[in-house]
Chains A and B, each alone.
Chain A
Amino acid sequence: MAEAMIEFQNVTKQYQGGQAAVDGLTMSIDKGAITVFVGPSGCGKTTSLRMINRMVEPTSGVITVGGADITSVPAPQLRRSMGYVMQSSGLMPHRSVLDNIATVPRLNGVSKADARKRAQELLDVVGLASSLGKRYPSQLSGGQQQRVGVARALAADPPVLLMDEPFSAVDPVVRDELQQELLRLQRDLAKTIVFVTHDIDEATVLGDKVAVFGLGGKLAQYAAPEEILRAPANDFVASFVGRDRGFRHLGFSPSDGVTIHPVRPVTPEQLRQEGSSGDWRLVVDDALRPLGWAGPGPAGAEPVMVAGGSLFRKGDTLRRALDAALSSPSGFGVAVDDDGRAAGLIAAAEVLAVIESDRNIRHGGL
């Protein structure tokens, strides 16, 4: 599918006197996409990321960027071709916001005036008022500082962005905002972004692909986020992804794309008369309000009613659609209208499909 931008070939990093921080990592990172490294603390995410710009030198193995071995250019030059953003903004407290943003162009020999002009433009790109340019970093909020950090990383227009938990230190509301902003930027810029986080929610929101690292620096699974959520490769990934996690962002997505299938519900009366059948039947009261599901059974046998899952109201978020579908014993979520009457069914598989295409749209794919 996508062209590879960064390749790890059997890369191992062993710090002095420890077990391997990264162990035989082989992976290919797509060009123009966001690849997220996620995993528990100490599993080698930062180490892997920093090997890409040679802040950490691998013990063995080869890393290539754009097909060229990264050791073929001097490290400072390599680093200037990669933006780097980390958890603490890492801004220089003694330089104005503008001059901070202008750092890498200045290192590349761009004149001060030109670099500042570019910095001024970037303030706008990351959604900051241009009047903030004259301030010192300490005069900005944490979220603003991270935006400046992103602007600085973009200043020399590098093809690659390395981001190490850039949004972990800001509060959840600002974090959501910054995540959406990054996605918006990425639609225009199409950088190759490697993003480190230990938050699976963040990984699924941002990642075109997610690499789950296991303890001991082993790559446990590397796939699109939906696949990791739907089919964790092993118990470790499953427990890391968690039962209900990874879907937080769906709380913000509309469910317009989810098809509501017609349903022929039965009242308890009708159910008793008809007896069990081979299918799940939705049971409703006289006002058509859902009561539960009758499980499939041998024809004519006494039907058993099972409590239904959560209900899905038309216009709810994707998150509720998924909850309704997944919590239903029949695999179909019950959609109700504003008066609480059963209006139809939604299928879990279809909700997942909508989530997937929704993500593709957000990422500018398809």
Chain B
Amino acid sequence: MEWFLANSAEVFSLAGQHLVLAILPMIFGVIIAVPLAQLGRQNRGLRSVVLTGSSLLYTIPSLALFIILPTILGTRILDPVNVVVALTIYAVALLVRAALDAFDSVDEDLRQSAVAMGFKPFARFMQIDLPLSLPVLFAGLRVVSVSNISLVSVAALLGIGNLGMLFTSGLQRDFVTEVVVGIIAILILALLMDSILVLLERLLTPWTRAAAASGAGTDAGTGQAKPGTAAAALRLSRPEAGGGTA
């Protein structure tokens, strides 16, 4: 505790860097994954390319990615851009699948009625497919958020500033307090991010609660994308995910 008080400025600054490194890839991930998923809906061929591609990306070990990326991107090994790009790749891999599932789960009758009302394709996507996919997308984002926050610490091995540095330096100096503070800080960060996402989702999808409150639920043919489908989408396994700090 004393150590934390003495070094709180340092810890907060590391936490800030950690957060930036974790959040940026989430934003880029959504921006890239949503159009990719939409592309995957055009036909069967594209769909399997998109899905297989994203699954493959997810299997690349993170440390390897952090090391390979600089040579591909021409960046220095210490450049935080590497971390952002690497985590964006994982985020895309996860979110493409979630988004595809979410779009698929939008009721076909609803889509037909939108066509019948004279929606053009882009307006239909923005006003119907996308908002109705939000619950599933948010479920995906919450997984990405936790995974990103833990993965960012791997980058500390390369000396890129974040809370993971508390582990590396703590271990080097055999100073347990620092490691513990690092773990707690990362936990708090993950919880914080998760709460923000939950809050954001509640703000953006008020109708889901109305449905639940009325007891009608989302099964009453309302065409609502169900978060349950995200669970299936997220059942990807990457043996090394988040475990690189040991």
Are B207 and A90 touching (Cβ within 8 A)?
A: no
Are B112 and A136 touching (Cβ within 8 A)?
A: no
Are B211 and A136 touching (Cβ within 8 A)?
A: yes
Are B214 and A138 touching (Cβ within 8 A)?
A: yes
A94-B207, A136-B211, A139-B210 known; A55-B112 Cβ under 8 A: yes
Are A103 and B117 touching (Cβ within 8 A)?
A: yes
Are B118 and A107 touching (Cβ within 8 A)?
A: yes
Interface-located stretch among B26-34, B85-93, B174-182, B218-226: B218-226
Residue B116 at the chain A interface, CB threshold 8 Å: yes
Option from A95, A107, A136, A137 in Cβ contact (under 8 Å) with B117: A107
Instruction: Look across to chain B and name the residue whose beta carbon is closest to the beta carbon of A104.
Output: B117
Residue A53 at the chain B interface, CB threshold 8 Å: yes
Contacts of A138 in B (CB 8 A): 207, 210-211, 214, 216-218, 220, 222, 224
Q: Interface digits, A130-151 against B, CB 8 Å rule (1 contact, 0 not)?
A: 0000011111000000000000
Residue B200 at the chain A interface, CB threshold 8 Å: no
Inter-chain CA distance A84–B115, complex, in Å, is 10
Are A104 and B118 touching (Cβ within 8 A)?
A: yes
Q: Interface digits, B219-246 against A, CB 8 Å rule (1 contact, 0 not)?
A: 0111110000000000000000000000
Residue A216 at the chain B interface, CB threshold 8 Å: no
Interface residues on A, range: 20 to 34
Are A80 and B118 touching (Cβ within 8 A)?
A: yes
Residue B120 at the chain A interface, CB threshold 8 Å: yes
Which residues between 75 and 97 of chain A lie within 8 Å of chain B, taking CB atoms? 75-80, 82, 84, 86-88, 90-95
Residue B128 at the chain A interface, CB threshold 8 Å: yes
Contacts of B163 in A (CB 8 A): none
Are B118 and A86 touching (Cβ within 8 A)?
A: no
Using a CB–CB cutoff of 8 Å, the interface residues on chain A facing chain B are 53, 55, 75-80, 82, 84, 86-88, 90-95, 103-104, 107, 135-139, 152, 162
Using a CB–CB cutoff of 8 Å, the interface residues on chain B facing chain A are 107, 109-110, 112-120, 123, 127-128, 131-132, 205, 207, 210-211, 214, 216-218, 220-224
Provide 30 A-B residue pairs closer than 8 Å at the C-beta atoms, listed in order of the A residue: A53-B116, A55-B115, A76-B119, A77-B118, A78-B118, A79-B117, A80-B118, A84-B113, A86-B109, A86-B116, A88-B221, A90-B109, A90-B110, A91-B110, A91-B113, A92-B110, A92-B127, A92-B128, A93-B110, A93-B207, A93-B224, A94-B132, A104-B117, A107-B117, A107-B123, A138-B207, A138-B210, A138-B211, A139-B210, A152-B117
